Structure 1
Amino acid sequence: MPLQLDHTIVPAHDKVKSAEFIARMFGLKYEGPWGHFAPVKVNDILTLDFDDSDNPRSNHYAFLASDEEFDGILQRIKDERVVFGSGPRSRTDGEINHLHQGRGFYFECENGHVWEVITHTYITD
């Protein structure tokens, strides 16, 4: 079996509020706490474990999405009036990019984390 990321801890000012927000934006379910985490199951092998932190430091989380998933996430972002943008240094321009034969955009959550959604990876064999 190839090495796979199983879970990662996402520091948050309010773990439940943050888990609910990301689950909503990505069209996922937040089903309540597990231990002291607020987990959001992304897929069969990855869970985001939100955890309270007095001073969460900004992290970058990038997700590869199908065109259909991308469209759904972008629509939910727009519906909730979340600021988004086309690049890591242009996260507020309200545009998407068309890099690497795909589409992409970035948005931030209240914890300062940068969330990226792309339809084509830029790392190739």
Structure 2
Amino acid sequence: MTVTLDHTIIHASNPQATATFLTELLGLPPHRQLGHFTIVRVGATSLDLLETQEEIASRHFAFLVSEPEFDAIFARIEARNLPYWADPFHLEPGRINHWDDGRGVYFDDPDGHNLEVLTRSYGSGGLQAEHVNPLLRR
């Protein structure tokens, strides 16, 4: 049997709003309700949104997409005037990165989770890439 990630639980102050944000921005199928979870399908994995009134600790979620998907998602980010960054620490506002000779961008969901859309997995370009992933330089 191949091991795959089936689901992960994400706390949200308004799961319906977060699910709509994710499905619309990423171009995913509509979310569904399963008991107290609001389910967003991302390929074979689901993001199971769970409502909480507690303070939400920001987590990071990265989505690997094709070049055309990146174009469409980035256009929706810009159309919504969402702040975006080239880096996970939000030090390079209004820019995308080209790590591993692909493209990547970071933005926040309504609860402050740090979302990333990238066209090449970290380190996939190796040290031969024109734009070496900074993690490989450490």
Q: Which residue of 2 aligns with 1:50?
A: 49
Shift of 1:65: 0.7
- Percent identical among aligned pairs is 37
**TM-score of the aligned structures, taking structure 2 as reference length:** 0.83
CA distance in 2, matches of 1:76, 1:33: 25
CA distance in 1, matches of 2:91, 2:117: 12
SS in 1 for 2:69: helix
Q: Count the aligned residue pairs.
A: 124
CA distance in 1, matches of 2:93, 2:87: 9
After the TM superposition, which residues 1-125 of structure 1 pair with which residues of structure 2 at under 5 Å, given as runs?
A: 1-43=1-43, 45-54=44-53, 55-90=55-90, 93-124=93-124
**What 5-or-longer segments of structure 1 have no aligned partner?**
none
Shift of 1:92: 6.2
**TM-score of the aligned structures, taking structure 1 as reference length:** 0.91
Q: Which amino acid aligns with 2:50?
A: D
SS in 2 for 1:56: coil
Shift of 1:2: 2.6
Shift of 1:4: 1.0
Q: Which amino acid aligns with 2:112?
A: G
Q: Deviations over 1:52-101 (max 9, x none)?
A: 01222110001111101111111111111111110012266111000112
Q: CA RMSD in A?
A: 1.7
SS in 1 for 2:33: coil
SS in 1 for 2:70: helix
**What 5-or-longer segments of structure 2 have no aligned partner?**
127-138
Whether the 8 Å CA contact 2:96–2:104 is kept in 1: the answer is: yes
Whether the 8 Å CA contact 1:83–1:91 is kept in 2: the answer is: no
Shift of 1:31: 3.7
Q: Which has the higher contact order (CA 8 A, sep 6+)?
A: 1
CA distance in 2, matches of 1:103, 1:62: 13
